[in-house]
Amino acid sequence: MSPPFRATPFPMAPARDRRSSVAVRLLERIFAPLPTPLVFRLWDGTTARVGAPGESPFTVTFRSPRVFRRILRRPTPLRFGEAYIGGEVDIDGDIFAAMAAADDVEKLRVPLGTKLAVLATLLRV
């Protein structure tokens, strides 16, 4: 006797959760002044394009809200590098362009008011 037929629902696109909406706004606020275009992909597939206009030759993917919060508390190339080596962040595309963009991130000076607002908002991510 064969098992009963079970209908498989069509796969649905993942719903964009509230945390990813907040995360996109944070990325836009922090990285808007960069002279380099950057693309970030969040844990749920949401993408954020920040920095200078144009196409980015790479995409940085945060695998979890936890690593996103940790890196955004202090976005340095060292933290990105550690997360990449630990498998918590992926870099898809031109790794050398990503390393060059890390120089721009390192030179980024976020105003104190923005830092405080970001820290308060990170509690919601």
pLDDT for position 6: 41
Residue 79 within a domain: yes
Model confidence pLDDT, tens digit, residues 14-44: 445 788 999 999 999 888 888 999 999 999 9
Ramachandran class of 37: left when φ > 0, alpha when ψ lies in -120 to 50, beta otherwise: beta
Residue 64 within a domain: yes
Half-sphere exposure of 32 (CA within 13 A, CB side): 9
- 3-40 burial, b for 16+ CB within 10 Å, e for fewer? eeeeeeeeeeeeeeeebbebbbebbeebbeebebbbbb
Which pTM was predicted? 0.77
Residue 84 within a domain: yes
- CATH code for position 23: 3.30.1050
Residue 47 within a domain: yes
